[in-house]
C-alpha cells in the first residue's frame, strides 16, 4: 500500500546553520487535484496521466551540499475522507504542509480552506508553514473557476501563507512549491544540479511515520 523512497537532489541547502536537518512535508488536498503528480514530478521527473487513488505514500529526499545534509520526508496523502485517523496523524507529525487544489474546480479550493482550518485547530498554533498550490494551470484561463488574483490575495494577505501556481503535467513551478515551503520553514536553499543521487524503496505505513516521528522527538529531547 505505502512505500518510502529516497531520491535525488533538486534543491541544495546552502546554509551551514539550517534550523533543522529533517523536515516532514505533508501534501494534502481533495482527490484528483494532482498531489501524487506533483510529488512524482518533483522527485522522479515523471507525469502519469491515468488516475490511481493514493492511500498514503511516504517518500524521502536526501539533499547534500558542502557537508550540509537535509532529509525531506514527503507524505502523499489520500484526498478521501475515509481515513480520518491517518489525516490526524499526518497533521500532528508534519513540519510543513502543501495544500493542493485544482484551478478548474472551486470545490477543491473549499477543501483547502477547510484543511487549513483543521491544521491550525489541531496544532493550536498560527505559524505552521503552509503553501497553497493552484495546480493544473495548463488547462487554460477559460477553464479556471478561481481567478489567480483572488486566490493569491486571500492566501498571502488574509492567511499569511505561501501561494504557488503550478502544473504537474507541464512541470511548471513544481520546484517552486518546494522552494516556497522551505522559505516558509526558514530553511535557506539554492537551486542547483543534483549533487548526489540516492534511491531506495522499503515498506512503510502511517504507523511507521508515527514511530519515526516519536523517535525523532525522543532524540531531540536527549
Ligand X SMILES: Nc1nc2c(ncn2[C@@H]2O[C@H](COP(=O)(O)OP(=O)(O)O)[C@@H](O)[C@H]2O)c(=O)[nH]1
Per CB under 6 A, residues contacting ligand X are: 29, 31-37, 48-51, 54, 79, 135-136, 138-139, 167-169
Tell me whether residue 56 or residue 95 sits nearer to Mg ion (CB atom): 56
Taking the C-alpha atoms of residue 81 and residue 119, their distance in angstroms, rounded to an integer, is 15
Tell me whether residue 13 or residue 33 sits nearer to ligand X (CB atom): 33
Partner from Mg ion, ligand X, none contacting 7, C-beta within 5 to 8 A by type: none
* Residues engaged in binding Mg ion (CB under 5 A): 35-36, 54
Partner from ligand X, Mg ion, none contacting 139, C-beta within 5 to 8 A by type: ligand X
Q: How many CB atoms lie within 10 A of CB 153?
A: 13
Tell me whether residue 35 or residue 179 sits nearer to ligand X (CB atom): 35
Q: How many CB atoms lie within 10 A of CB 26?
A: 25
Q: What's the min distance (Å) between Cβ of 15 and Mg ion?
A: 32
Tell me whether residue 12 or residue 108 sits nearer to Mg ion (CB atom): 108
Q: Which of helix, strand or coil describes residue 194?
A: coil
Q: What's the min distance (Å) between Cβ of 203 and ligand X?
A: 20
Amino acid at each position: 500500500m505505502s512505500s518510502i523512497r529516497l531520491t535525488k537532489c533538486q534543491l541544495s541547502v546552502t546554509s551551514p546553520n539550517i534550523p533543522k536537518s529533517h523536515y516532514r512535508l505533508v501534501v494534502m488536498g481533495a482527490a484528483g487535484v494532482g498531489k501524487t503528480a506533483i510529488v512524482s514530478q518533483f522527485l522522479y521527473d515523471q507525469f502519469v496521466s491515468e488516475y490511481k487513488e493514493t492511500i498514503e505514500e511516504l517518500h524521502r529526499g536526501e539533499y547534500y551540499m558542502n557537508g550540509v545534509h537535509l532529509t525531506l520526508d514527503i507524505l502523499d496523502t489520500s484526498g478521501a475522507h475515509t481515513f480520518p485517523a491517518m489525516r490526524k496523524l499526518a497533521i500532528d507529525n508534519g513540519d510543513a504542509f502543501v495544500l493542493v487544489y485544482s484551478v478548474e474546480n472551486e470545490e477543491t479550493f473549499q477543501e483547502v480552506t477547510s484543511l487549513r482550518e483543521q491544521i491550525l485547530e489541531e496544532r493550536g498554533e498560527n505559524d505552521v508553514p503552509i503553501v497553497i498550490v493552484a495546480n493544473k494551470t495548463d488547462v487554460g484561463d477559460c477553464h479556471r473557476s478561481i481567478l489567480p488574483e483572488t486566490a493569491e490575495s486571500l492566501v498571502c494577505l488574509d492567511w499569511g501563507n505561501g501561494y504557488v501556481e503550478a502544473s504537474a503535467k507541464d512541470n511548471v513551478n513544481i520546484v517552486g512549491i518546494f522552494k516556497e515551503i522551505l522559505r516558509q520553514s526558514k530553511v535557506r536553499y539554492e537551486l542547483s544540479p543534483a549533487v548526489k543521487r540516492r534511491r531506495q524503496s522499503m515498506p512503510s505505513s502511517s504507523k511507521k511515520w508515527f514511530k519515526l516521528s516519536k523517535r525523532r522527538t525522543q532524540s531531540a529531547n536527549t
